[in-house]
Structure 1
Amino acid sequence: MKTAPRVGVFGLLGSGNLGNDGSLEAVLGYLRTEHPDAAVDALCGGPEAVTTRFGIPATRLHWYRGEYRTASRAGAIAGKGLGKLVDVFRTAAWVRRHDVVIVPGMGVLEATLPLRPWGFPYSLFLLCASGRLLGTRVALVSVGAAAIGNRPTRALVRWSGRLAAYRSYRDAPSRDAMRAMGVDTRRDEVYPDLAFSLPTPRASAPSGSPGTVCVGVMDFHGGNDDRARAEEIYRRYLDGTIRFVRTLVEEGRPVRLLTGDQCDLSVVAAILDAVGSPLVTAAEPASLADLMTEMAAADTVVAVRYHNLICALKTGTPVLALCYAAKSDALMDRMGLGAYCHPAREVDADRLLEQFRDLEKHSAELRQTLTERNQAAAQQLADQFAALTAALFPAADPIQTPRKAP
């Protein structure tokens, strides 16, 4: 008698980042459709939120509850240090209970935003090492990767990649980055981000007159290598965004501010305070579905966060990207909007407005392009899930013959 597969999902899930939770939602949709008998649970950053929203058991990622607070006192430093040791055994014990562990999307192999090696990179390494030692297949599915300057972080990411049983990437630069860091990627494939498999709300028909512009914001201070000028980067990004929003308001355009993480609320407050117009309002999205609903009703989107861009692209709404990493440029190029990228570290409000006006001028043809690219992305993800079943659930009945994504 065949036993139900025991599947774990792992990551910074339930911690307030809508993109991460959207990736989890996509994988759970796949499991519930193709492997409905699977027993699924999570090891994650926000177990209570994951259980409440997705209905699966969840365990806290770190033993030490103050993991994400800065440790300045001796007791806190000792607690963090002890937690790193305890997590070795906690992670191994959790991995041992599963046949398969899936890391659903996310930028788990990159350092494009500030992080320390002893944070998530260490946790991911423990997961992949435990899987290899205990015979549990660990799959990094449509993940993001990028070149990493910090040597300890790079070493942990490299070994995590090497120890995983399955790897696929959400863009070609991610695969190239892992190859450059010493991982054999010859059998690794590139597929779209998992969020492209989520349901999409119906977009509103263009009204013919200028309508709402959604502006996705981010508490952006640069990446790991920008710590020395983090405040300068943030100020330039915020000032440029405020100038852009103020110009739209002066032209009578309604602006809807959107976030992708709880930390972005301070940016929303700063823009509302600086512009001070009833034409500027803020949404409170709790999921990628909420973001897509907002964007489907808009004429145009300008956004920073990677999954805000995906939500706009999925709804077929023309979007201008403020890019802070190569993944954003690669995404926009893949979806046919490569000309509409602007550097988040060097926001120039005049140039941004020029690109925005050109985007709106070509709105109709861009919407048609997005319709075609979204259809291709959906098929490529169906192929990815078929390949995932073949790799991780060899006893399962085949769904279809996997076809490699281009």
Structure 2
Amino acid sequence: MHLEETPLRIGVFGLLGSGNLGNDGSLEALLVHLRAEYPHAVVDALCGGPRTVTARYGIPATRLHWYGGEYRTASRAGAIAGKGLGKLVDIARTAAWVRRHDAVIVPGMGVLEATLPLRPWGFPYALFLLCASGRLLRTPVALAGVGAAPIRSRPTRALLRWSARLATHRSFRDGPSRTAIRDLGVDTARDAVHPDLAFGLPAPAAARTPGTVCVGVMDFHGSNDDRHRAAAIHRRYLDGTTRLVRALAADGRPVRLLTGDTADRRVADAIRTTVASPLVTTAPVTSLTDLMRETAAADAVVATRYHNLICALRTSTPTLALGYAAKNDDLMRDWGLGAYTHPARTIDPDRLLVQLRELERNAPALRAQLAARNAKIGRELHGALTALTASLLPPPHRNDQQRPTLTCAGADREAP
């Protein structure tokens, strides 16, 4: 790179580093692409967990919200005032951050959905500020491979509709997501659909442990529309999942409990305490690569979280989905596993066991089917990410370097 050239500045945005492994996996997949195609770009983040993002990925990061207690319930006058003031301060903070960049990318995640409890003045408001700032300051903002779903809450629907309209580039992780945004009145005719960005992560090799079943658990309380019955939904989900694990342990099957978010650990702890079997253990996972290593070693996977399913499919492991949203069922159908879905809200442990046994009987054919689908994923995602960066940035400069570097906080670091 010539010394007189100014390096590109690329921002990444979202609830990254906040404990959700799926969100962080999408960021990791994007960074792999940027390090290969734009090795001298300066990349930084505006995100939920800046310390984690900086420590894990080596890029500078700024806290998403000015008010530190944004995601805590505000009951006292001081907290309510702090949240209100924070909304005003974040207008200027977001605009100033956007102004410093040549482009901003929101990497994957379900940023245009409310399938889990969500307040409009939290992340939807932050996303709207980002997209509005990009349009006003002429900085392109891309929603790359994001998830979307129908939304009932009017304030949330309005904020996400305008976010989608104001974004420079949109692509979706599945067809129903694009349809949901089209139904909000957004013109999606030119918007691409491609596999979830997390499918771009390499699947690690792992020796299979015969008999092992991975059960991915979730701190599940229903969707944004289920707040009035959230406790009952959670009790039924926890009871059904616990009964499944108990039955597997009674059959002498090792069970590995998988999590996908910090909040899921208390569910895993509750199941392990109730079942009280040495065959039931919780896998220590801190990344999607860790999750994939666990699923690759299992005979079968039963999972709730969307990115737990992705990890299982990525390793070609026969998978049964405890679906909490349409996206889970759509993903399973896309991979030819539509018969192996079960509703997370109304778990029937007996029927779930029947489905699992059928899944395992068909395991050899299913593994071959999933491996064939995985062979296509890399090409599809490479094309999608190349199209994304081509729409936002000038063509990358090619040179004779053997190993690309990514500029971070004024210094270059070697990419893996």
* Both structures adopt the same fold (TM-score exceeding 0.5): yes
Determine which structure has greater relative contact order: mean sequence separation of CA pairs < 8 Å that are 6+ residues apart, divided by chain length.
2
Identity fraction in percent: 70
Does the CA-based 8 Å contact 2:208-2:298 persist in structure 1? no
Q: Distance between the aligned counterparts of 1:127 and 1:9, measured in 2?
A: 11
CA RMSD of the aligned region, Å? Answer: 1.1
CA contact (8 A) 2:320 2:359 kept: yes
Q: 1:123-159: per-residue Cα shift (whole Å, max 9, x none)?
A: 0000000000001000000000000000000000000
**Cα distance in structure 1, aligned partners of 2:378 and 2:195:** 8
3-state DSSP of counterpart to 2:345:
helix
Match of 2:272 in 1: 272
**TM-score computed with the length of structure 1 as normaliser:** 0.96
Partner residue in 2 for 1:384: 384
Q: Is the 8 A contact 1:203 1:315 kept in 2?
A: no
Distance 2:77 2:46 in 1: 28
Query: What residue identity is the alignment partner of 2:44?
Result: D
Matched with 1:173 is: 176
**Superposed displacement of residue 397, structure 1:** 6.0
Q: Report the equivalent of 2:36.
A: 33
Q: Deviations over 1:235-256 (max 9, x none)?
A: 1111111111111111110101
Does the 8 Å contact 2:9/2:43 carry over to 1?
A: yes
> Could you say which residue in structure 2 is the equivalent of 1:98?
101
The whole-number CA distance in structure 2 between the counterparts of 1:379 and 1:199 is 13
Instruction: Name the residue aligned to 2:301.
Output: 301
Question: Any unmatched runs of 5+ in structure 1?
Answer: 399-406
Look up the SS of the partner of 2:119 in the other structure. coil
**SS of aligned partner of 1:43:** strand
Candidates 69, 73, 78, aligned match of 2:72 = 69
2:356 matched residue in structure 1: 356
The AA in structure 2 aligned to 1:83 is: G
- Deviation track 1:19-61 (CA, whole Å, cap 9, x = no partner) reads 0000110010010011111100000000001000000000000
Task: Quote the offset at 1:2 in angstroms.
Answer: 4.5
Q: Secondary structure at the match of 1:346?
A: coil
Q: 1:366 maps to what in 2?
A: 366
C-alpha separation in 2, matches of 1:243 and 1:294: 22
Q: Aligned residue for 1:283? A: 283
Where 1:272 maps in the other structure, the secondary structure is helix
One-letter code aligned to 1:212: T
Q: CA deviation at 1:389?
A: 2.3
Letter in 1 for 2:297: A
Following the alignment from structure 1 to structure 2, what is the Cα–Cα distance between the partners of residues 125 and 196?
27
Query: 1:205 offset after TM fit, Å?
Result: 5.1
The code of the aligned residue for 1:4 comes to P
Instruction: Give, as a single letter, the amino acid of the residue that structure 2 aligns with 1:388.
Output: L
Equivalent pairs counted in the alignment come to: 395
Give the aligned partner of residue 403 of structure 1: none
Equivalent-residue separation in structure 2 for 1:241 and 1:93 (angstroms): 46
1:3 shift after superposition: 2.8
After TM superposition, give the deviation of residue 203 of structure 1 in Å: 4.4
User: For residues 5 and 327 of structure 2, what CA distance do their matches in structure 1 show?
Assistant: 41
**Corresponding residue for residue 245 of structure 2:** 245
Distance 2:64 2:120 in 1: 16
**1:197 matched residue in structure 2:** 200
Looking at structure 1, the residues matched to 171 and 342 of structure 2 have their Cα atoms a distance apart, in angstroms, of: 28
Partner in structure 2 of residue 115 of structure 1: 118
Which sections of structure 2, spanning at least 5 residues, go unmatched? Answer: 399-416
* Displacement after TM superposition at 1:386 (Å): 1.6
Instruction: Provide the residue aligned with 2:340 in structure 1.
Output: 340
Q: Residue type matched to 2:259 in 1? A: T
CA distance in 2, matches of 1:203, 1:169: 31
User: Which residue pairs with 1:404 in the alignment?
Assistant: none
Amino acid at match of 1:138: V
* Contact 1:295–1:315 (CA under 8 A) maintained in structure 2: yes
Question: Which whole-Å CA distance do the structure 2 matches of 1:133 and 1:365 have between them?
Answer: 53
> Shift of residue 330 of structure 1?
1.1
Selected match of 2:60 from 46, 50, 57: 57
Determine the C-alpha separation between the residues in 1 that align with 2:60 and 2:208: 41
**After the TM superposition, which residues 145-164 of structure 1 pair with which residues of structure 2 at under 5 Å, given as runs?**
145-164=148-167
Say if 2:221 is the partner of 1:218: no
Q: Deviations over 1:312-331 (max 9, x none)?
A: 00011111000011111111
- The one-letter amino acid of 2:24's match is D
Q: Greater shift after overlay, 119-128 or 267-276?
A: 267-276
Deviation sequence 1:319-356 (CA, Å, 0-9, x none): 10000111111111111211111011111101100100
1:46 matched to 2:45: no
The answer to whether the 8 A contact 1:18-1:286 is kept is yes
